[in-house]
A and B are shown apart, each in its own frame.
Chain A
Amino acid sequence: MRKVLVSLLLTLVVFFAFANYLGYDATGKKGGTLILPTLSGPRTCNDTVSKETSSSDVIAMFMSWGGTLIERSAIDGKFYPALAEKWDGPRLTKDGGMEIIWYLRKGVKWSDGEPFDADDVVFTLNEIYTNPDIPSSFKDVIRSTNGYLPKATKINDYTVRMYYPEPFRLALRYLGGMYIFPKHKAESWVKNKKFAEFWTVDAINKKEIVGLGPFIPVEYVPDQYVRFVANPNYWKKTKDGTQLPFLKEVVYKIISSQDAQKLAFEKGEVDIYSQRGTEFRGTEFNYFKENEKKFNITVLAYGPAYGTQFITFNWNNKDEAKREWFRNVHFRKAVAYAMDKKKMIDTLFNGLAVEQWSPVSMASPYYNDKVTVKYPYDLNKARAELKLGGFSWDKNGKLIDSKGRPVKFIIETNAGNTVREGMGNIITAALKQLGMDITFVPGDFNTLINRMLNVGDWDAIIIGLTGSDEPQGGRNVWAIDGSLHFWNLSPKVADWVDPNAYWLPDFEKEIDKIFAENVRILDDNVVKDYWAKFQKLASENLPLIYTVNPLRLFAWRNTIKNVKITMLGGTTWNLDWLWKEQ
């Protein structure tokens, strides 16, 4: 202990000693069942295997909300103590590495009554999430710049040290939010090398699931519902001594069609409609808004959402002419000016969306409106950009490049996504007005992704990515060797890219550097400068041309209390202190 304290190299020392945690100040009544709709049931209850929200929503019930070392408030975006009463760091160590010391809350029990202590935390990090035999996407996010994984050591039963050989800014966020596995249940599965089969959905009915979170799944009827009961050993209490959660039960009702979900909400069979927001349709929003009183519900648009939708061009196209156009920044700027975002918002989202200009989500503290270059819809400016880029028009009004070749290419998107198809039509119509010869083709999603990443025979694609408030989450997209750097995949990543024709402009190198370096900085103000530069470069050079970003739409029954909608959170971010009027 002493040694650790001495080995401080002071850059940033944060010492948190909150008396309270999220939910400490909450008031409410015990009892009640919250019924949430979901489109499909869980595939697994094992976080390392889970890849989709239908599973991760179920897992979060017993592993999140107070089941992690620290918790983030959706109100102020700050981290609050949870299983860790307080923590030191992240701070640099003498050897150039970085450490965080967690001081665990004493007396916390797993839902089966076993005590929770440092062994569980050390086991989870060292033997599950950093185990080379257990693939998980969490392993990818906790890897530092040079690929190091953290190591945990037990200092005593209630103190854990986590260490990286190099500074890594995101360590606090990710390690603090890490789901903790019960060593007494999971250890034998890790040893037998069968961890992928630990906690399949069978485990729910066998009552094998044990957690630190507020609700434990106890019953699963395939394609029908998952029932959770309040964790009898949940550690959180309000300041007047009431044990949380307030709710007695939570039920995930699996309703596989959205129309049926809507009717079920209207009829009162579910309490919250589309807690994720993005699935909610603008037409439904108006319908519910008009009937707020009649159905006794609250309907709210808030946002924008984290995700992005954009058009991107293949800089490594096999056709040399297309390669030249797509690499020409004036061409991309012309496309940006030709994008009628207002029309997209009105026709595709019923007005419930905002224009997007930056790769950083507007909900992020790193979003910087001042540095972001914007391209309001203006076909004359688009024509001017095309002229600057060496393009001209033949006597029929068709756009030709400096070598006289007519500009002709295909825009694709995945069929069935009506929003993207609508965007495609709007963009295509505008580009045709500029004299481009464009075919717009919606196609099968899997085929599209395969051709985009593995084959390379595409011109332009309209697609989207999920996002978060932390720009570093897009590393695979923006790093030069990133596997999702689709517009200009590195020949190291994709064998279809011709190394001789590969071209790397300076702004790409600079962005790559930003992604590599920002995570080594622990001072948030410096990090903000990094992300400002990133937004400036990305919006000046437009490798991805963003479209619009929908607002998040929320609707819940008025009987559900303590709902606090913010930019960062939805209806259930404070599930452990929601309550229901009986």
Chain B
Amino acid sequence: MIKYIARRLIIMLPELWIITIIVFALIQLSPGTFLDQYKLDPSISQETLKAMEKELGLDKPAIVQYFYWLGKVVRGDFGYSFYYRRPVASLIGERLLGTFVLSLYSFVLSWIIGVVLGIVSALKKYTLTDKILTVVAFSGLALPGFFLALVLLYMAARTGWFPIGGMYSPETSRLDVWNAFKDIFWRMQLPAFTLTFGGFAGLMRYMRGSLLDVLNEDYVEFARAKGMPERVVIYKHALRNAINPLITMFGYSLSGLLSGAVITETIFSWPGLGRLTYQALLQKDYYVVMASTVIGTVLLVLGNLVGDILLAAVDPRIRYE
């Protein structure tokens, strides 16, 4: 197993390298450069634009720029943001926490709710409970996140129960740790609800479908026939088999932890990586985009690895030797 993990991790390096080349090429091929946003400003002269181009290294060929960047990354330096004139690593570091807290919270919530409701829905198939849950799940899938977010914001403004967005308020820094935590937790509820509502619905339908498939298998019938208690049949045999496809999904969805929620972050003014990357993409702040792509890719690859390992742990048929 350790050998397998090591092999996967080693393969990751060339994978990452190729992905950085592709992303860099795509950014270069997309029309315009970082300096375009300044070109329509009557107060900025041609000479100033040229000077900025030289200063930021944008006058060099793309290949040179790429290898210059790669050389830095190998030494642990993710480059420099044109826009902020700061190292990319510190920019991302500042926003990592906000994104991580929000994503993790809604990730855990949507998995718990999704799996539990999926099981309930499957066991009570075609009853009223199942139908209600199905309606809820389909609304979750159908309702656009931005719309739900706006409705929630409107509700917050009308009732005054929740603040209008933001993770910290200017008052937060004056509170003690416990009250600051409560403040942030309270502020997290609306964006987390938006993300969870969109997230659990899919999981619930997967769980339901998968469990129903398994419940129709011969060995389940056999277990029931030989008089095994229903509780044991479902939770010990059926569920263990039904969960396999979800574990693969679990691995995939780990990669969304740091990049998932651009729109929700924007509407709720949540300080996250998604917003940073999105803005950087619009402004062609190359190295910020590169760094977040690399982070996203690493998470995707690691998430898959975690998914595979978990799969091996729960399913004795799978062995990686």
A interface with B by C-beta (< 8 Å)? 33, 35, 40, 43-44, 46, 49, 51-52, 135-137, 139-141, 143, 196-197, 200-202, 219, 221-225, 227, 251, 253-257, 259-260, 263-264, 266-267, 269, 444, 446-447, 449-450, 453, 463, 465-466, 473-477, 483-484, 493
Contact = CB atoms under 8 A, between A and B. Distances in A.
Given A44-B85, A140-B45, A446 B40 contact: no
B2 to A, nearest CB: 39
Nearest to A484: B42
Interface string B261-288: 0000011111110011001000010000
A135 B45 CA distance: 10
Given A135-B55, A141-B43, A466-B42, A264 B48 contact: no
A221 B160 CA distance: 24
12 contacts: A46-B85, A51-B41, A137-B44, A140-B48, A221-B173, A222-B271, A223-B270, A223-B272, A251-B170, A257-B269, A463-B40, A475-B42
Contact of A140 (B36, B40, B43, B98): B43
B201 interface: no
B228 interface: no
B268 A136 contact: no
A254 B267 CA distance: 11
B312 interface: no
Nearest to B84: A43
A545 B224 CA distance: 82
Contact of A200 (B55, B86, B267, B270): B86
B145 interface: no
Contacts of B275: 223, 256
Given A222-B95, A257-B267, A263-B164, A466 B41 contact: yes
The 3 closest A-B pairs by CB, nearest first: A446-B32, A223-B271, A135-B51
Nearest to A135: B51
Nearest to A50: B85
A466 B42 CA distance: 8
B167 to A, nearest CB: 6
A43 B37 CA distance: 15
A33 B166 CA distance: 18
Contacts of A219: 170, 173
Given A140-B43, A256-B269, A257-B269, A197 B85 contact: yes
Contacts of B269: 223-224, 254-257, 260
A52 B150 CA distance: 27
A267 B160 CA distance: 8
Contacts of A463: 40
Contact of B40 (A201, A253, A484): A484
Contacts of B153: 259-260, 263
Contacts of A255: 164-166, 269
Nearest to B94: A222
A197 B90 CA distance: 14
A484 to B, nearest CB: 6
Contact of A260 (B167, B169, B267): B267
B48 to A, nearest CB: 5
A46 B279 CA distance: 20
Nearest to A196: B85
Contacts of B185: none
Contacts of B94: 222
B269 to A, nearest CB: 5
A474 B42 contact: yes
B38 interface: yes
B36 to A, nearest CB: 5
B274 to A, nearest CB: 11
Which of A52, A202, A266, A446 gathers the greatest number of chain B CB atoms within 10 Å? A446
A194 to B, nearest CB: 10
Contacts of A483: 39, 45-46
A263 B169 CA distance: 16
Nearest to A227: B170
The A interface is mostly helix, strand or loop, or mixed, namely mixed
B46 A444 contact: no
Interface string B22-39: 000000000110001111
A446 B36 contact: yes
A405 to B, nearest CB: 31
B72 to A, nearest CB: 16
Nearest to B46: A483
Nearest to A223: B271
B48 A135 contact: yes
Given A139-B48, A223-B275, A449 B42 contact: no
Given A196-B55, A263-B154, A449-B39, 8 more contacts: A51-B44, A137-B41, A201-B84, A219-B170, A222-B271, A224-B169, A260-B164, A484-B40
Given A223-B95, A444-B31, A200 B84 contact: yes
Contact of A253 (B41, B166, B266): B166
B202 interface: no
A40 B279 contact: yes
B52 interface: yes
Contact of B42 (A51, A254, A473): A473
Contacts of B170: 33, 35, 219, 225, 227, 251, 253
B83 interface: yes
Contacts of A259: 150, 153, 267
A303 to B, nearest CB: 20
A484 B43 CA distance: 10
Nearest to B263: A257
A553 to B, nearest CB: 20
Contacts of A135: 47-48, 51-52, 55
Interface string B157-184: 1001001111111100100000000000
A266 B167 CA distance: 20
B300 interface: no
B85 A49 contact: yes
A68 B18 CA distance: 52
B184 to A, nearest CB: 11
Contacts of B45: 137, 140, 143, 476, 483
Nearest to B45: A140
A49 B85 CA distance: 8
Given A44-B84, A135-B48, A450 B32 contact: yes
Contacts of B46: 483, 493
Interface in B41-66: 41-48, 51-52, 55
A444 B157 CA distance: 34
Contacts of A221: 168, 173, 271
B183 to A, nearest CB: 12
Contacts of B167: 224
B42 A201 contact: no
A51 B35 CA distance: 11
Nearest to A454: B39
Interface string B69-89: 000000000000001111000
